[in-house]
Structure 1
Amino acid sequence: MGKTKKLIELDNRAIEVLEKQAKLQKRSLKNYLEFLIENTALNFSEPSEEYKAMMDDLLERQKNGTLETIPIDEIRKKYGISRKTVD
C-alpha cells in the first residue's frame, strides 16, 4: 500500500500533550501520530470476515436459544468492579 504525506497544523498545547503520550509509549511524535491516525481509520473501516463470521454465529445461537450468557453482575463480581465504577 502506498503512503501519502500531509501537512497538519495543531496548537502548541495539543503538541505538548501528544509528545508526552508518545514518550510514554517510547515513540517519536511522528510515529505516535501515524499510529493514532491509522488505528482510528481502521476503527472506521469494515469489520474483518472473521469478525463477521463470529457475530453471525452469535446471532444465530441467540436466535436458536443456544447462546449462553453471563449476567453483568456476575462479571462485575468476578473482576471486583463496582457498579459505581462502570456506570
Structure 2
Amino acid sequence: MGKTKKLIELDDKAIEILEKQAKLEKRSLKNYIEYTLEEQAVRFSEPSEAYKAMMDDMIDRDENGTLKTHSWEAIKAQYGR
C-alpha cells in the first residue's frame, strides 16, 4: 500500500495534549498521530467479526421474536434520570 503526505494544522492545545499522549506511549508525536489516524481508519473500514456476529445474533432474535428491547424513557426511569 502506498503512502501519501498531507499537511495538517492543529490547535496548539491539541498538539500539547497529543504530545503528552505520545510520550505516555513512548512514541514521537508524528508516529503517534499517524498510528492514531490509521487505527481510526481501520475502525471506519469494516466492522469487526465480533460485532458482525453480535449483530447477526440480534437480527436472528428479532426475527424469532425473542429480542427484548426497552424504550429510552424506561431506561432513563430505571437509572433515575
**TM range, smaller chain:** 0.5 to 0.7
Deviates more, 1:15-24 or 1:53-62: 53-62
Q: 1-side partners of 2:44 and 2:30: how far apart?
A: 21
TM-score of the pair, normalised by structure 2: 0.62
Q: 2-side partners of 1:8 and 1:29: how far apart?
A: 13
Residue in 2 that maps onto 1:15: 15
Identity %: 67
Aligned residue pair count: 70
For the aligned residues, what is the CA RMSD? 2.7
After TM superposition, give the deviation of residue 51 of structure 1 in Å. Answer: 3.5
Q: 2-side partners of 1:49 and 1:17: how far apart?
A: 32
**Corresponding letter in the other structure for 1:59:** I
User: Is there any run of 5+ residues in structure 2 with no aligned partner, and where?
Assistant: 69-78
TM-superposition CA deviations, 1:17-50 (whole Å, max 9, x none): 1100111111111111012211222232232466
User: Is there any run of 5+ residues in structure 1 with no aligned partner, and where?
Assistant: 69-82
Q: 2-side partners of 1:11 and 1:38: how far apart?
A: 20
Bigger relative CO (Cα 8 Å, ≥ 6 apart): 2
